[in-house]
Structures are given as C-alpha cells and as structure tokens.
Structure 1
Amino acid sequence: MLEIKDLEVSFGGITALKGISLTVNDGEIVTLIGANGAGKTTTLRTVSGLVKPRAGQVLVDGKDVTRLSAQARVKRGLVQVPEGRRVFPQMSVLENLELGAYLRRDKGVAGDLDQVFTRFPRLADRRKQHAGTLSGGEQQMLAIGRALMSRPRILLLDEPSMGLAPLLVQEIFSIVSEINAGGTTVLLVEQNANMALQVADRGYVLETGRIVLAGTAAELTSTDEVKRAYLGG
C-alpha cells in the first residue's frame, strides 16, 4: 500500500535520510524504531508531504505521490498524527475533530464523529472544552481522533507514547491495535521499541539516516543488536 524508494532528505547541507527504502502492506502495522536524531520523524514528514526529498519516491497503491502536496495526500488517505499532538489549544475538542474532516464532502462525518466519541469517551465528556486544557493523554487521543475524522487508509503515528504515564501508554497502544483491526494500515514511529514491537507486524531500525535492520516484530525482538540498543537486554 505504501512504498518508500531510495529516499534522501537534506537540511542545510546535512543529509538526514540516506537512501532509505521500506514497504507497508495493506492491513499491517509497521514500526520504525531508532534513537533520537535517527531520522524517524523526517521520514514521516516526508511521506506526508511536509518535507520535500532531494531524491527518491513515495508511492501509495503503486502511484507516485512524491510531488503531491500534503493536502492532496490526505485526500488519498495518507494522514499523520504529529509528534507532540499539535492540537489547536484555543479551539474546543469538537472543533479540533471537525477540522479533521475539513476536506470531506460526504454525509458520513456525523457518524464518524459519533464513532470517535464512542472510542474516546473522555473526549465526549469534554467536547466543549478548550483542547489546550486537556491532559497529555487526552490530547493524544484528540490528535488520533482528529486523524480518524479524515478516514485514513494509512495512519502515520509519530511518537504517540511520548510524555505519557505507563498506564496511558498501554491504553494508547491498545487503541492503535483496535484501529488497525478495523482496517486501517499503520506506520508507527516510536522510541518505546518494546511496546512498538508488541503491536507491530514488521519493523525497521533506523540509525543516522539509514535502515540497518528489518524483519518481523518477532525477529527484531530476538535480535541481539535490538535487545542491547532498544530493549534493555
């Protein structure tokens, strides 16, 4: 469904991505793990159209979308939940969710809003509350709910567990699994490699702009390099 081919990205003469390639098949959760500065967020921002690559391609369903705007990629079902949530703090929970459906013209928006409130009852209770007053976990739920309002086919998740308490981390990853079980393909960027590999089908390890390991989640979990660097083994 999603394919990245030989992607290169530079910032001010510094090469952030050095020809990486990866695939995400329909219905999978694929995780991209690595240390800070490895290039994980740059990868997602390039896939979603926020960063222009120096070379390489991004393909969705075999069609090249490398030159398409971020808005055009959302229309094709490629939707990102950014690192740090990026909710609109002075707008209500409801208004944030409605913005997720900004490009839609179908009659299913109200039904999808009901589904988001069913999935995240805390958001339903706070629908009129300013998003900036929510807790970190609630803001993460809002960011995911806003993305779901776009009806994504491929959901790009950037560090969904960042800054959250352990119990909330478990809840967020359970939600990611539920979303995937409902038919949404997921590309997950996450520093919490242990949790990411528990929910993922496959994974890639990114180090200083290069993919150094790839395999099923079980294969990566049992790899000595991954155990030492990311799992505390």
Structure 2
Amino acid sequence: MLEIQNLNVYYGAIHALKGINLKINQGEIVTLIGANGAGKTTTLRTISGIEKAKSGDILYKGKSIKSLSAPDMVKAGISHSPEGRRVFSTMSVLENLELGAYTRKDKVQVKKDMDYIFSLFPRLLERREQYAGTLSGGEQQMLAIGRALLSRPKLLLLDEPSMGLAPLIVKEIFSIIKDINKKGTTILLVEQNANMALQCAHRAYIIQNGKIDIEGDTESLLNDNKVKEAYLAG
C-alpha cells in the first residue's frame, strides 16, 4: 500500500532522515519505534505532506505522492493523528470531529461514521458539546483519532497515541487501535512505548539517528536480545 524509498529529509543543515526504506502492506499495523529525535515524527510528517523530502520517493498504491499537499493526502486516503493530539481547544468535541470530514460531501455516510466514532469512544458522545480543551489527555487522544477517522482513511498515521497517558488509558487506546485495524484500516503507528507497540503491530521498524536500524515481524523483535536491552528494559 505504501512504500518509502531511500527518503532523505533535512531541517536546514540537519539531516533528519538518512535514506530510509519502509513498506506497509494493506491491512497491516506497522510500528515505527525509536528514541526521541530518532526521526519517527519526521517520517509521518513527510508521508502526510507537511514536510518535504530532499530526495527519495513515497509511493502510495504504486504512485508517487511526494509532491502532494497535506489536504490532497487526505483526499487520497491518508489521515494523520499528530503527536500531542492538536485538538482545537476552543471548539466543541462535535466541531472537532466535523472538521475531520471537511473534504467529504456524503452527509448521510458522515453521520453513520460519526455514530461509529461514538461507539468506539463513548466518552466523546457524553462530552460532544464540551470544549475540547476541557477534556482529559486520554479523551483528547480519542478525539484526535476520531477526527482522523472521519476522513475515512485507507491509511491512518498515528503519532505517539500513548504519550502522557495513564497505563489503563494506554491499554484502552491500543485495544481500540486493533479494532480499527480489524475493520479494514491500515495503520502506521509511531510509538516510544515499544513494548505496547510491538504487541499491537504485525511488523516493526526501529529507527535510530535517522536510519532504519532493525526491521522484522514483531514476534521475533520481542524476543531479540538487542531490542530487549535497548527498548524493552523494564
């Protein structure tokens, strides 16, 4: 579904992504894990058109999308739930969700999809008229994922969905991510919580200093001594 080929991204003189290669097949959850500053968020931002690559290519369903704008990425079927959630704090939960469907004209189906989001996240239904800024961190994360899903993505990019959340909420979020995938959405998951990410995903890439260091199926990586020592300690 998506293939990154020898991608290089710079921030001024800083070489943030150094020739990375990555592939996601339809129906998979693939996780990209690594330390702070390793290049995880840059990878997602480049896929979704927010950052521009200096060289290399990004193929989506066999076609290059490297030059598409971020809004065109959404229209193509790629949606991005960003790091830090980035909800619109002075807008209601319902208004935030409606923004996720801004490219769509099929109002009847949007209503059905809204009902689906509320079935995934019942707390959002209870708080639909509240300002998003009054929600807890976990509720804001649910809102960010729900907003991304309302564009009906074929590929969902999730950036650090567990960041700053209590362990019980993290467990709930990862359970919902699996449910979303079972409904047919392919997911690229960026995470610092390597243990949870590897238990959730089918395959994984480990990025270090802008380069892919290790890749493989998650079962083998969970049992890899190098991975255990570097990412799963404790």
Give the TM-score, by structure 1 length: 0.99
In the other structure, the counterpart of 1:90 is: 90
Deviations 1:128-186 (A, max 9, x none): 00000000000000000001100010000000000000000000000000000000000
CA–CA separation in structure 2 for the residues paired with 1:120 and 1:207: 34
* Aligned residue identity for 2:71: Q
In the other structure, the counterpart of 2:48 is: 48
SS at match of 1:26: coil
Is 1:159 equivalent to 2:181 in the alignment? no
Is 1:118 equivalent to 2:119 in the alignment? yes
Query: What is the Cα deviation at residue 224 of structure 1?
Result: 1.3
CA–CA separation in structure 2 for the residues paired with 1:115 and 1:26: 22
SS at match of 2:195: helix
Is 1:137 equivalent to 2:134 in the alignment? no
In the other structure, the counterpart of 2:210 is: 209
Give the TM-score, by structure 2 length: 0.99
CA–CA separation in structure 2 for the residues paired with 1:191 and 1:201: 17
Query: What is the Cα deviation at residue 65 of structure 1?
Result: 0.4
Please give the residue correspondences for 1:1-233 in structure 2 after superposition, counting only pairs within 5 Å.
1-107=1-107, 108-232=109-233
Runs of 4+ in 1 over 3 A off after TM superposition: none
CA–CA separation in structure 2 for the residues paired with 1:33 and 1:54: 23
Identity %: 65
CA–CA separation in structure 1 for the residues paired with 2:15 and 2:226: 24
SS at match of 1:141: helix
Deviations 1:116-135 (A, max 9, x none): 11111100000000000000
* Aligned residue identity for 1:102: Y
Query: What is the Cα deviation at residue 79 of structure 1?
Result: 0.5
Deviations 1:62-92 (A, max 9, x none): 0100001011111111100000000000000
Deviations 1:194-224 (A, max 9, x none): 0000010000000000001000001111111
CA–CA separation in structure 1 for the residues paired with 2:11 and 2:149: 31
* Aligned residue identity for 2:128: R
Structure 1 vs Structure 2 CA RMSD? 0.7
Query: What is the Cα deviation at residue 106 of structure 1?
Result: 1.5
* Aligned residue identity for 1:51: E
**Structure 2: which 5+ residue stretches go unaligned?**
none
SS at match of 1:102: coil
* Aligned residue identity for 1:137: G
CA–CA separation in structure 1 for the residues paired with 2:2 and 2:173: 23
